[in-house]
Structure 1
């Protein structure tokens, strides 16, 4: 199989609902988002961050990394989908269809 096949290339989606009631909550929320960004995730929508990975093995590394800095409270979901599935996402702004604004392809050095 082609190493860059749309079925091999993966996208990780991290979606979360974190409390922001106290200063400590806000600090943890901010730190979680900052760590996602430091690991190469970009905002797809409020509380949904995505990251492009060249393979499932690479995606597993990043999913474990996200798991290592989960906040104490709140809900976090991590989902991995193929590039083909990501390309089939339908987005709407009101009733108008939107073209997915996916982050640019990341370069990987071997």
Structure 2
């Protein structure tokens, strides 16, 4: 499973920027990586693990702005076509994540 987080947070005031930075840092601390400027993604080994990370995101939500969370399968994620301008680019292969039991 992949968890994608989309957000549009206000950055007009210094406090707004601080909240947006804190939210982004919380995502990075939880293992998310930047896909685009306001889209972060994380691979999860199972739906249950994806639900755990979704709950963490809900706890870190700022008071203002819009945040969306989407869970997709690895197969769906693999069908993404990436373009830079009009030219297709090779997508980065995600790092292998080992899970210890």
**Number of corresponding residues:** 101
Q: After the TM superposition, which residues 1-110 of structure 1 pair with which residues of structure 2 at under 5 Å, given as runs?
A: 10-110=1-101
What runs of 5+ residues in structure 2 fail to find an aligned partner?
none
Compute the TM-score of the two structures, normalised by the length of structure 2. Answer: 0.96
Structure 1 stretches of 4+ with a deviation exceeding 3 A read none
Q: CA deviation at 1:102?
A: 4.6
CA distance in 2, matches of 1:106, 1:15: 22
In structure 1, what is the Cα distance between the partners aligned to 2:98 and 2:73? Answer: 18
Q: How far apart in 1 are the matches of 2:16 and 2:96?
A: 33
Given the two structures, how large is their TM-score scaled by the length of structure 1? 0.88
Contact 1:44 1:102 in 2 (8 A): no
Give the RMSD, CA atoms, in angstroms.
Answer: 0.9
